[in-house]
Structure formats: structure tokens, C-alpha cells
């Protein structure tokens, strides 16, 4: 029998079906939520630098706007398949719902390879995309954001085109804008802090003071650095951090049992989170193999680097002492490893709850843009704390009440909220 090829949308639907079964959703709601609400596909003709015209395919999938305007990235990708985009749009719906922000899920993009395009050509694609969808996106309808191969510059082009068409200042149509151009302060800290807000709450649940705990962190990028900062402020001690070494083309773990001094370590770190081994050694850090972070005798593990890091092969190396794993990265745990963690009763804070600080801050950016009033950083981070904390407890409560694994509980809550909103609206 020929194998059927991998289809991410089918996978996402299967996951939904599992939760729908658990929630005992009715057939209409299932039908509504297991497929996107709306899909747009259109052509974007672009005059190229050499004078020829090339036609690019653009699209946008709005999976659900039951709880608020759709929200999701725009990607430039040479061979995007609609199924991938559908899956990602659905995932955005759940992600917004789990932290209880009033936004739905969407995703879109253009089939192109920016490596083959000049900046001017990319600008034309961005503007063309907005022209085609000018009536179907907006601060109150659908809010795009940067994604694969797009960045703040693309967003500004799109914003400019949108505002030109509508003849108004409408910065809330897009998130991911630079500070001063409608962006929000606190964005760099948001994801890392969000991870630690949930860790803090988990420790409360376990009745452990943060100052009595130690942690090991995978990755030393933006998320990891701010997670370490806040966790240390709370009194915790990070003893091990892993990072990617560009010149050796492999990762290393940097360990100091007396605790990592973040400021000191940042002093020997490059922009990409690469630590200068020799200098770190001089500061009293041990240099260990890349996967040593996982094997540390600590209370908390925070994988904040890449997907598929905790696998069936290495899950056995996790120390007995480990109580909490907070997934700062997307999908750091493989399915088989996840089963082991569940069996061991480790307190897992699933990725789309733990790292939801980012999407929450995007929501704040949209709110600020809509009212054209921008908060100070403290205010942003304070509000983030409130959102993350209550989101955590909602998931935790459900997990306790229904005696289910945290990851499942997060899905159940998210899908439950969207289903409820759809029902309330009389859609199903």
C-alpha cells in the first residue's frame, strides 16, 4: 500500500477531533471548527526590476473569528501548500484562546522566494497583497503579522498601503511594527518573561519557593535570556545554559553550579546568543556537551531553543529531581518523549501556554494601536503577568479537575472557549 504523504492539516484536524471527542462537541461545531471559516486566494501582478511582469499567488486563511478579529502571520514561501497554512491558522485560533485574548486565528502569505526578489519587488508584492485584501482585513477583521521571511519592513509597507487605501491612520491593522511606528514596548521581554510567569505559578502550585529551586535552560537567545533574568530576579538559580556555537557548528552547555550570572555571561555573548567558550571558562564556567543541559540535577528545565529536543532517546536522562518543564520553544518535545514525561508525572507547561507571552504582547500592540495611546514598558509587562497568570490557572484548574495532562488541558480549554463563542453566536 502506498503511504499517504504527510499532511499537516490532517494532523491538526486529528488533534482537534481528539479534543472535540473529549469535549463531546456537536457535529456542527466540529464541522465549523475543523475547517477554516474563510479562505482567500488571489493573484498579485508585479512589475519586476527588469521590466517584465510576474504574477504571484497570494492567499489568506481566516480559521475563526468567533472570539475576535483573526490574527496570524504572513509568510513568503516558495512552495507553500494551502494545507500547511490551514493548519497554522487553526493553531493560531487555539493559541489566542488559551491565553484568553479576544482574537481569532488566521495565516496567509505569498508563494515566492525572497532570495530571488529585490527589495523593491518585495515591496510591490506586499502592497499588491494588501490591495487585494483591503476590504477583508483590518483592525476589526483580520490582523496580519510578520512570519517566515517577512519582517517589520514588510509590515510597514503593508500598513502604508492599507492606510492609503482607507485614507486613515489605522495602525491596528498589523502587528510586529517597530516601536515608534505603532509597535509596543516590552515585546523583546514578553516571551521569556511569559515562560517564567507560568513557572512561578507552577511553583506556587507545587508549594515550592522559587529561591529554593534551580533550573537548566536550553538556548541562550532572546527568550532564554529574559527567562533567566526574571527567574533569577525571583530568587531562582540557573546552573546550566546551552547555546549554539557558530564556529564549531555544534552546541555546548555552560555550567556553573554556584549559579549563572546573566550579566556576566552576556558580557561574553554575541548577538546570536553564542557564548565565547574560552572567556566563559575564565569566568569559572564548565563547558559541557550540547545536550548536558538536559541531564542536570535541577528542579526546572526550560527548553527555549528548537523543536524536537526532548526525544525518546534522551528523555531517560532527565534527572529524577526535575519537577517542571516549561516549553519556551515551539514543540521541543517529541510525541514519544511526551508520553514518558506524562507517565513520570512531570509538571509540563505546554509550549502554546508557556510561550504565549509573544502573542499576548502582539494583542497589546493592537490594542494600543487602536486607541493610539502607548503604554510604558512596566504597564505592558504588568498586564502580561496578569494575562499569563490567569491563563495558567485556567489550564491548571482544568487539568486538576478533569485529571488530564497539562498539554491536553490547554487544548481542551482553548478549543472549548472557541466552541463556546461559536455556539453563543448561534453559529452552531
What is the contact surface with other proteins in residues (CB under 8 A)?
Answer: 2-6, 8, 11, 49, 75, 77-81, 84, 113-121, 146, 148-149, 151-153, 156, 176-181, 183, 187, 246-247, 249-250, 270-272, 308, 334-335
> What are the residues whose beta carbons fall under 8 Å from the beta carbon of 189, sequence distance 6 or more?
226, 377, 381
Q: For residues 68 and 219, which CB has a smaller minimum distance to other proteins in the complex? A: 219
Q: Respond yes or no: is residue 339 known to be catalytic.
A: no
Q: How far is the CB of 24 from other proteins (least distance, A)?
A: 28
The C-alpha atoms of residue 130 and residue 150 are separated, in whole angstroms, by: 14
- Are 236 and 203 within 8 A, CB to CB? no
Nearest Cα to 303, choosing from 332, 278, 343, 276? 332
Q: How far is the CB of 6 from other proteins (least distance, A)?
A: 5
Alpha helices in 117-272 (DSSP H): 119-133, 152-166, 187-206, 222-233, 262-266
- Are 328 and 354 within 8 A, CB to CB? yes
Q: How far is the CB of 275 from other proteins (least distance, A)?
A: 14
Q: How far is the CB of 411 from other proteins (least distance, A)?
A: 18
Q: For residues 62 and 334, which CB has a smaller minimum distance to other proteins in the complex? A: 334
Q: For residues 117 and 315, which CB has a smaller minimum distance to other proteins in the complex? A: 117
Nearest Cα to 5, choosing from 96, 105, 72, 81? 81
The C-alpha atoms of residue 333 and residue 14 are separated, in whole angstroms, by: 19
Q: How far is the CB of 230 from other proteins (least distance, A)?
A: 21
Q: For residues 65 and 123, which CB has a smaller minimum distance to other proteins in the complex? A: 123
Exposure string (b/e) for 376-394, b if CB count within 10 Å is 16 or more?
Answer: eeeebbebbbebbeebbeb
Q: How far is the CB of 65 from other proteins (least distance, A)?
A: 24
Q: For residues 68 and 186, which CB has a smaller minimum distance to other proteins in the complex? A: 186
List the 324-326 sheet strands across, edge first.
Answer: 286-289, 250-255, 237-245, 214-218, 300-303, 324-326, 347-349
Q: How far is the CB of 334 from other proteins (least distance, A)?
A: 6
> What are the residues whose beta carbons fall under 8 Å from the beta carbon of 97, sequence distance 6 or more?
67, 413, 414, 415, 417, 418
Task: Quote the crossing angle between the two packed helices 377-402 and 406-424, to the nearest 10°.
Answer: 100
Q: What is the DSSP letter of 275?
A: B
Choice among 71, 95, 107, 237 that is catalytic: 107
Q: For residues 109 and 172, which CB has a smaller minimum distance to other proteins in the complex? A: 109
C-alpha cell at 214: 534551580
Q: For residues 59 and 347, which CB has a smaller minimum distance to other proteins in the complex? A: 59
The C-alpha atoms of residue 376 and residue 380 are separated, in whole angstroms, by: 7
Residues forming the active site: 107
Amino acid at each position: 500500500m502506498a503511504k499517504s504523504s504527510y499532511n499537516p492539516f490532517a494532523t491538526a484536524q486529528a488533534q482537534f477531533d481528539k479534543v472535540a471527542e473529549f469535549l463531546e462537541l456537536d457535529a456542527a461545531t466540529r464541522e465549523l471548527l475543523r475547517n477554516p471559516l474563510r479562505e482567500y486566494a488571489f493573484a498579485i501582478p508585479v512589475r519586476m526590476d527588469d521590466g517584465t511582469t510576474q504574477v504571484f499567488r497570494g492567499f489568506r486563511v481566516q480559521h475563526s473569528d468567533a472570539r475576535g478579529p483573526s490574527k496570524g502571520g504572513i509568510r513568503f514561501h516558495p512552495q507553500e501548500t494551502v494545507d500547511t497554512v490551514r493548519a497554522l491558522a487553526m493553531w493560531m485560533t487555539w493559541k489566542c484562546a488559551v491565553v484568553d485574548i479576544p482574537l481569532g486565528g488566521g495565516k496567509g502569505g505569498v508563494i515566492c522566494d525572497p532570495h530571488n526578489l529585490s527589495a523593491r519587488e518585495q515591496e510591490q508584492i506586499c502592497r499588491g497583497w494588501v490591495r487585494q485584501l483591503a476590504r477583508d482585513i483590518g483592525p476589526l477583521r483580520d490582523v496580519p503579522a510578520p512570519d517566515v521571511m517577512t519582517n517589520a519592513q514588510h509590515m510597514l509597507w503593508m500598513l502604508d498601503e492599507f492606510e492609503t487605501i482607507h485614507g486613515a491612520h489605522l495602525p491596528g491593522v498589523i502587528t510586529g511594527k517597530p516601536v515608534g511606528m505603532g509597535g509596543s514596548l516590552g515585546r523583546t521581554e514578553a516571551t521569556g518573561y511569559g515562560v517564567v510567569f507560568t513557572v512561578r505559578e507552577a511553583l506556587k502550585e507545587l508549594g515550592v519557593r522559587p529561591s529554593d529551586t534551580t533550573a537548566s535552560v536550553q538556548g541562550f537567545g532572546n527568550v532564554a535570556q529574559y527567562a533567566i533574568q526574571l527567574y533569577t530576579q525571583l530568587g531562582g538559580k540557573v546552573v546550566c545554559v546551552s547555546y549554539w556555537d557558530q564556529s564549531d557548528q555544534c552546541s555546548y552547555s555552560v555550567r556553573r553550579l554556584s549559579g549563572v550570572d546573566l550579566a556576566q555571561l552576556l558580557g561574553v555573548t554575541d548577538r546570536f546568543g553564542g557564548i565565547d567558550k574560552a572567556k566563559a571558562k575564565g569566568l569559572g564556567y564548565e563547558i559541557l556537551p550540547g545536550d548536558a543541559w538536559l541531564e542536570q540535577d535541577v528542579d526546572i528545565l526550560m527548553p527555549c531553543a528548537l523543536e524536537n529536543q526532548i526525544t525518546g532517546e534522551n528523555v531517560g536522562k532527565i534527572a529524577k529531581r526535575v519537577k517542571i518543564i516549561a516549553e519556551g520553544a515551539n514543540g521541543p518535545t517529541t510525541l514519544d518523549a511526551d508520553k514518558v514525561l506524562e507517565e513520570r508525572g512531570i509538571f509540563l507547561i505546554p509550549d502554546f501556554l508557556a510561550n504565549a507571552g509573544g502573542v499576548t504582547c502582539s494583542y497589546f500592540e493592537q490594542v494600543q494601536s487602536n486607541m493610539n495611546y502607548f503604554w510604558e514598558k512596566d504597564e505592558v509587562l504588568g498586564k502580561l503577568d496578569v494575562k499569563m497568570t490567569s491563563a495558567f490557572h485556567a489550564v491548571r484548574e482544568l487539568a486538576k479537575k478533569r485529571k488530564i495532562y497539562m498539554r491536553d488541558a490547554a487544548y481542551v480549554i482553548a478549543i472549548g472557549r472557541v466552541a463556546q463563542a461559536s455556539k453563543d453566536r448561534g453559529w452552531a
